[in-house]
Structure 1
Amino acid sequence: MKMIDKINFSSPFKRPMGIALFAALVFGILVSSHSHAKYASFVMDADTGHVLHSVNADTRNYPASLTKMMTLFMLFEAIEQKKITLNTKMRVSRRATWQPPSRLGLKAGSHIRAEDAIYALVTKSANDVATVVAEALGGTEWEFAKAMTKRAHAIGMTKTNFRNASGLPNRGQLSTARDMAKLGNELWKRFPQYYKYFKTQKWSYKGRTYGNHNKLMKKYDGMDGIKTGYIRAAGFNLVSSVNRGGHRLIGVVFGGKTANQRNAIMARILDRGFTKIDPKMMAAYNKKKKAAQKKRAVEIAAKRRSTAWGVQVGAFNTVKKARTQAIAAIKRAPSYLSGAQTKVVPLKNGSKKVYRARVVGVEKREAYRACKALKKMRQPCMVFRSKGTQVAMNKR
């Protein structure tokens, strides 16, 4: 197993972080964090390069963790050129452990396999791992960032400059929606054997499981990558690659106000893109989607009707007593009431208020069987529908 553990540090990281360097970094972060992210969005046909949507596509913004797409590009290229393998162990420097979250929490002097580094960057978006990769391939992160920039320009990302491998705040680290779309397209075309990593939903490492930050991938049909990004100065960024109906689109959103808003914008501009290139396919897809949603709504309604039953196990003078009794009923008849919910319903009885102890969310048959079982334990029980209509009562 190949191992990389000797790092040839060069300026500006010859020594541990000094006061001047620390101050410079803090200043850069403060300046960046008070900048205003500019909204930009872009959609292109991955096969033809045809632009389907463009808003502020050439405005330079902070890429945030979209930067890690370029870090992965460099890593994939190094593997392709047989400089390293997926099993190569990369040494963790002390400087890597100093990176702020998100991070994997690696220890200085330890090692991480190249393939695990890929998973960590795709799912956890780990900043410490980005530094490990940078130092393993470039000697120092600064030298690696220069190599990233040079390579980015070579593939047509002419308005992009990198200063680190992670996307952490730096005034000089800038890119555009158009450039990031080019990068996403290059990753898909150049490295089909490695692009599959971007589909990863969950990844386990040393006893912990990490989920992918790209939640839209679960919701948007055909999306199989690529990367999310966020710093305060950038807002919420996302590059997506979607294959639907034999067409692949690359979408980019910069400067979302929230992750949900960014995802909604991405879904909307991708839908418009598919409609432009294949309106018949999109119309058929929307028709199928509406039919599926209607079917699902019917199934949910049927499920609600089937579980619209419950049992009442008494009325009490306090909420606490009512809830305690409802919980006790579930424990006494777990075969029928397991998974049900307790509910306390107030009732004014004359000048006094009493609280009914109920267990809700079960099927009719289970409700009757639960009451039968509770009766044997000398527990008063009444079956009712969710609207509160009494159906039967088991007396003591």
Structure 2
Amino acid sequence: MRQALSGFVSKSAFPLKTIMILAMAMTFVVADVASSLAAKSAAIVVDAKTGKVLYSANADGRRYPASLTKMMTLYLTFEAMAKGKISRNSPVVFSAHASAEAPTKLGVKPGESVAVETAILSIVTKSANDSATALGEMLGGNETNFARMMTAKARQLGMNGTVFRNANGLPDPGQFTTARDMATLGIALREHFPQYYGYFAQRSFLYGRQRINGHNRLLGRIKGVDGIKTGYTRASGFNLVSSVNDGNRRLVAVVMGGTSGGSRDNQMAGLINTYLPRASTRGGGDLVAKADSNPISALAKVLLPKHDAPTPDEKPVAVAEADTAVADDATVAQGDSEDEDTAEAEAPKLVVPAKKVKTVIVSAPKVATAQVVAAYAEPTPAVDPVSTASVPSGWAIQVASSPKQSEAQAFLDKTTKQAPKVLANASGFTVAFDKDGATYYRARFGGFGSKDAAWKACTALKKKKIECYAVQQ
């Protein structure tokens, strides 16, 4: 730099002091540009009952999905389960390619396998790249073909601004999406697979003797949040899709391109606080069309673009990383671990603050984090097992009520064993409610697409002398 300046000075009429001032000014310009890119995130809030967009900022701008990609991997996994092609206990064999994926991952060795349910749990909590790839290879034969299936499904769901290149979201310049498309996918997951949607509420799970904790810090911290997925690479920034259900209103919100996990979480919390009260208490029915069941016609609808497809129009770059902003995608990709916790180990988690902290929201009303917590925070309960994750939409059946959650859960387990065929596609969960100052727990099974389906299941259970009634979620 100094040699270049000296050479320039020797051939110019400007004094060295003037040149140095100009150089410093250029430095500040670069920093300002990087800062503006970092601030230009994308976000959308959709009323999940009516489909009305309550808030939008750059919602149609192309962005890297990072691990939000795994939402589509899970959609296709749930679809295969619902059709009986695979079950929760089907083995997922890890190829050498899957095992070699970059962290974060489950760490399964080549040739070894885990159950489908284990792979699902590792994706929704740890965001395991190797599990996503292994599922993709199992369902599509190979990851390239599975990516075509993913993109075909995106078109069927109306996600016209999305192209998938892999099953896990690790960097690929030809893989992109929009905040609007991710909201559509979030709504579709809940509408089309309520029997499996409860997986997204999982905050941790046991893998052998290891307790694996999830990345979604809003679960259990912001009242009503029941999923869905976080995502991070250096190219994408910090992404999050959240589903919220307060019993009367439902939202799906997306934030993409956050400069840190903490600021992204606070932005999401602010959006929830601002727009959930504005959502409709009425409405219902599918907002996203059911996907075409014919895989041949589905693939025929999609012609994937070449590998040099346009990348997101603006790539979030933190000011502190401005010196690396000129690196090409290949260079950036080498450092991507897709591990949000490692990327921001020092970042503060969303906690109940002792004083008001400003929430960052792009073009949205300013909301203090303290206000968010006051309105929506609830104590962090014990980690939910899979069977107690709530199913937020559709019809459910209630089979018991107890003052103890453990008793309600035990009744769910007993009922499942008594009527495995009746509840084959249902998901058990507990719901807390207050009565006369005491807390009780309802034992319910969700995943029924209609009132008739729920009552039919109840009739079958009553034949086994199990009391039951249907209720709309």
The alignment's C-alpha RMSD in Å is 2.2
Structure-2 residue corresponding to 1:61: 63
- Which residue of 229, 242, 251 maps to 1:249? 251
Structure-2 residue corresponding to 1:114: 116
CA distance in 2 between counterparts of 1:123 and 1:56 reads 28
* TM superposition score normalised by structure 2: 0.51
CA contact (8 A) 2:43 2:57 kept: yes
Structure-1 residue corresponding to 2:140: 138
Residue 112 of structure 1 and its aligned partner are, at CA, apart by 1.1
CA contact (8 A) 2:91 2:113 kept: yes
Cα offsets for 1:97-125 (capped at 9, x unmatched): 11000001100010111111110110110
CA distance in 2 between counterparts of 1:160 and 1:228 reads 18
Residue 291 of structure 1 and its aligned partner are, at CA, apart by 9.1
Q: How does 1:262-277 map to 2 (within 5 A)?
A: 262-277=264-279
Cα offsets for 1:177-204 (capped at 9, x unmatched): 0000000000011111100000111111
- The answer for unaligned runs of 5 or more in structure 1 is 1-35, 280-285, 297-396
Structure-2 residue corresponding to 1:224: 226
Residue 245 of structure 1 and its aligned partner are, at CA, apart by 4.5
Structure-1 residue corresponding to 2:168: 166
CA distance in 1 between counterparts of 2:116 and 2:253 reads 28
SS at match of 1:216: coil
The alignment of Structure 1 onto Structure 2 pairs a total of residues equal to 253
Structure-2 residue corresponding to 1:199: 201
- Which residue of 163, 186, 189 maps to 2:188? 186
Residue 277 of structure 1 and its aligned partner are, at CA, apart by 3.0
1:82 aligns with 2:117: no
Residue 274 of structure 1 and its aligned partner are, at CA, apart by 1.7
Residue 271 of structure 1 and its aligned partner are, at CA, apart by 1.6
CA distance in 1 between counterparts of 2:138 and 2:182 reads 24
Structure-2 residue corresponding to 1:154: 156
Structure-2 residue corresponding to 1:328: none
Using CA pairs below 8 Å that are at least 6 residues apart, which structure has the higher relative contact order? 2
Q: How does 1:284-363 map to 2 (within 5 A)?
A: 290=374
Residue 66 of structure 1 and its aligned partner are, at CA, apart by 0.3
Higher share of residues assigned strand:
1
- Which residue of 238, 241, 245 maps to 1:236? 238
Structure-1 residue corresponding to 2:129: 127
CA distance in 2 between counterparts of 1:292 and 1:180 reads 24
SS at match of 1:274: helix
SS at match of 1:237: strand
AA matched with 1:176: T
AA matched with 2:55: H
AA matched with 2:49: D
Residue 276 of structure 1 and its aligned partner are, at CA, apart by 2.4
Quickly say closer, same or farther: Cα 1:79–1:208, change in 2 above 3 A. same
Quickly say closer, same or farther: Cα 1:194–1:245, change in 2 above 3 A. closer
Quickly say closer, same or farther: Cα 1:103–1:178, change in 2 above 3 A. same
SS at match of 1:60: coil
SS at match of 2:269: helix
CA distance in 1 between counterparts of 2:206 and 2:49 reads 34
CA distance in 2 between counterparts of 1:217 and 1:200 reads 8
AA matched with 1:214: N
Structure-1 residue corresponding to 2:429: none
Quickly say closer, same or farther: Cα 1:291–1:240, change in 2 above 3 A. closer
SS at match of 1:103: coil
Q: Out of 37-46 and 120-129, give the one that drifted further.
A: 37-46
SS at match of 2:166: coil
User: Which consecutive segments of 4 or more residues in structure 1 shift more than 2 A?
Assistant: 275-279, 286-293
Structure-2 residue corresponding to 1:49: 51
Higher share of residues assigned helix:
1
Quickly say closer, same or farther: Cα 1:267–1:290, change in 2 above 3 A. closer
CA distance in 2 between counterparts of 1:49 and 1:66 reads 21
- Which residue of 210, 213, 216 maps to 2:212? 210
